[in-house]
Amino acid sequence: VSSDAYPTQGFCSVDSNLESDCLSGKILIKGGTVVNAHHKEVADVYIEDGVIVHVSPNIRVGDHVRIVDATGKYVMPGGIDPHTHLEMEFMGTVTIDDFPSGQAAALAGGTTMHIDFVNPINVNLSAAFASYMNKAKKSVMDYGFHMVITKWDEEVSREMEVMVKENGINSFKFFMAYKGSVMINDEVLINGLERCKSLGALAMVHAENGDAVAEGQKKMISLGITGPEGHALSRPSVLEGEATARAIRLANFVNTPLYVVHVMSIDAMEEIAKAKKSGQRIIGEPVVSGLVLDESWLWNSDFTTAAKYVMSPPIRKAEHGKALQDALASGVLQIVGTDHCTFNSTQKSFGMDDFRKIPNGVNGIEERMHIIWDSMVESGKISVTDYVRITSTECAKVFNIYPRKGAILEGSDADIIILNPNSSFRISSISHHSRSDTNVYEGRTGKGKVEVTISGGRIVWEDGNLKVTQGSGKYIKMPPFSYLFDGLDKVDAQYLASLGAPVRRTAAAS
Ligand code: URP
Ligand code: ZN
Ligand code: ZN
Ligand code: ZN
């Protein structure tokens, strides 16, 4: 399609009958400001069969093309959420959003791809992967997987290779907390980092000192502090800083890149900043809850209200969120996730008498794009191009699926949102699409509204209506050796050369 390849008569308008008239899969988004991480311009976007075919001002098209007017609005790559837990077995229960419900929420909020964590519980990696592929069969949008490593042996090492070379997984997560369940020790982490490096896979860490957290929890219980505030008090930010620093130093020792998930504190952020300043390749992921909420909720006298804010690492004092926003604006942190891990109030009530039993996790998959727009773009903290970078493009680059994802370029997947900066949003558990009966952003309002979501070339969210098809979402394989791995071999070679010849030693005379 070129700007004048087709006659101009016979347009379909927004009002045309979609069912009968525009099943062709052809859409023209007209007159919006098309935003990529590198550039923005007023242009039209022409889509055919799920792919962006043409981006240019004044595209003319023929018959049977659905025209969507985006004048005065932003046309941006759909969000990619790097961190979700759908239908995950965790802390004796299962997250309440499964793939179709969590993804419906995502689409209604302008996110068109997510990367979930395969959590192998008492099974090997292959069986865990198969089980997650099965859970994701009814997907309504594209998705990928990270894999959690919970122990170390020959089989795990061998299977990591299978995951990378055959199953499209290019990242592995290590939990430095949750003692007695998924927590690993430094030996496992070092082995894992080495293996990740050899496979070109990105190591990710949940960075909290799990041994110290367990001690902190015992201390709170012995003091009679059993409510949700005990969660925050038992795992202060110093424990997040310690584990972040340790993981960073071990990644440095191995010379491999590191991705720190859910950075929740100044302590952790400053460790990342310091490492990056010295040239280390670290990706820091703040999550929406850590950017805009504060810990005071955990002291709420109503248990149900307080318990919904329990996640790990904990939501902290407001100064942490502000510093994390600044770090995101300056590039110290690069990708915003959600850690969407929802439990309803019945599940949260398992910890009524003991905060250690409150399932950890908050919602966010539907709210991320709106809250980040409102709190960071609308406030003037970041540019619109930076918004695209932190919500979509950088994630696509780090997980090596750019520019298929994360861009509005010819040949990219047609995962697109149209955001009206003059409209507004309001969040409530009454209207949200998650299955949870609560929302940690209940009542929050702000400027900017995702009015249209296009997923795989289809309009799935428009005028407040969701039209999704179960099974339409595709599994996106993510190849190893992203840009983060470029040149590491040269640094290794320089290091080896610097060692010089082996030292010869004579036997000591006795
Ligand atoms: O509280 C949280 N973050 N729940 C999900 C599991 C994890 O640590 O990511
Ligand atoms: Zn038509
Ligand atoms: Zn975690
Ligand atoms: Zn998580």
Domain with 371 in it: what CATH number?
3.20.20.140
Residue 84 lies in a domain: yes
**What residue owns the CA closest to ligand 1's atom 8?**
312
**What residue owns the CA closest to ligand 1's atom 3?**
312
Ligand 1 neighbour 361 (Cβ under 6 A) = yes
Both 48 and 181 in one domain: the answer is no
**What residue owns the CA closest to ligand 1's atom 1?**
311
- CA distances to 26, 328, 330, 368, 387 from 375, rounded to whole Å, are 34, 12, 15, 10, 11
Instruction: Name the β-bridge partners of 80.
Output: 113
Residue to probe by mutation, ligand 1, list 259, 312, 342, most atoms within 8 Å of CB: 312
Pairwise CA distance, residues 482 & 462, whole Å:
35
Pairwise CA distance, residues 201 & 217, whole Å:
34
Q: What is the model's pLDDT at position 501? A: 87
Ligand 1 neighbour 412 (Cβ under 6 A) = no
Pairwise CA distance, residues 490 & 484, whole Å:
13
Residue 465 lies in a domain: no
Ligand 1 neighbour 85 (Cβ under 6 A) = yes
**What residue owns the CA closest to ligand 1's atom 4?**
361
Instruction: Name the β-bridge partners of 352.
Output: none
Both 161 and 68 in one domain: the answer is no
Question: Are the C-beta atoms of residues 80 and 337 closer than 8 Å to each other?
Answer: no
Ligand 1 neighbour 312 (Cβ under 6 A) = yes
Q: What is the model's pLDDT at position 506? A: 85
Pairwise CA distance, residues 20 & 423, whole Å:
31
Looking at all shown ligands, the one closest to residue 206's CA atom is 3
Count the domains in the chain.
2
State the closest ligand 1 atom to the C-alpha of 261, by its place in the atom list counted from 1: 9
Tell me: ipTM over 0.95. no
Ligand 1 neighbour 332 (Cβ under 6 A) = no
| Nearest one of 214, 211, 317, 330 to 272, comparing CA atoms | 330
Both 199 and 64 in one domain: the answer is no
Ranges under pLDDT 50 in the chain:
1-22
Looking at all shown ligands, the one closest to residue 16's CA atom is 2
Q: Is 2 exposed, middle or buried (0-12, 13-18, 19+ CB in 10 A)?
A: exposed
Both 64 and 93 in one domain: the answer is no
Specify the CATH number for the domain of residue 32.
2.30.40.10
Both 38 and 131 in one domain: the answer is no
Q: Which residue range(s) make up the domain with 103?
A: 77-449+481-485
Question: Are the C-beta atoms of residues 439 and 309 closer than 8 Å to each other?
Answer: no
Going from the Cα of 112 to the center of ligand 3, the distance in angstroms, rounded, reads 22
Ligand 1 neighbour 342 (Cβ under 6 A) = no
Both 359 and 256 in one domain: the answer is yes
**What residue owns the CA closest to ligand 1's atom 9?**
339
Instruction: Name the β-bridge partners of 142.
Output: 113
Q: What angle do CA 143, 449, 114 make, to 5 degrees?
A: 10
Both 30 and 160 in one domain: the answer is no
First to last CA, the chain: 87
Residue 504 lies in a domain: no
Ligand 1 neighbour 339 (Cβ under 6 A) = yes
| Percent helix, percent strand, percent coil in the chain, to nearest 5 | 35, 20, 45
* Phi and psi torsions of 258, nearest 5°: -140, 140
Going from the Cα of 60 to the center of ligand 3, the distance in angstroms, rounded, reads 48
- CA distances to 96, 179, 227, 231, 339 from 358, rounded to whole Å, are 14, 15, 10, 9, 16
**What residue owns the CA closest to ligand 1's atom 5?**
361
Question: Are the C-beta atoms of residues 217 and 236 closer than 8 Å to each other?
Answer: no
**What residue owns the CA closest to ligand 1's atom 7?**
312
Pairwise CA distance, residues 405 & 411, whole Å:
10
Both 62 and 91 in one domain: the answer is no
**C-alpha torsion 429→435→436→439, nearest 10:** -40
Ligand 1 neighbour 206 (Cβ under 6 A) = yes
Ligand 1 neighbour 341 (Cβ under 6 A) = yes
Q: What is the model's pLDDT at position 75? A: 99
Both 62 and 202 in one domain: the answer is no
Both 105 and 129 in one domain: the answer is yes
DSSP state, 246?
Answer: H
Residue 222 lies in a domain: yes
Q: What is the model's pLDDT at position 507? A: 80
Ligand 1 neighbour 286 (Cβ under 6 A) = no
Going from the Cα of 55 to the center of ligand 2, the distance in angstroms, rounded, reads 20
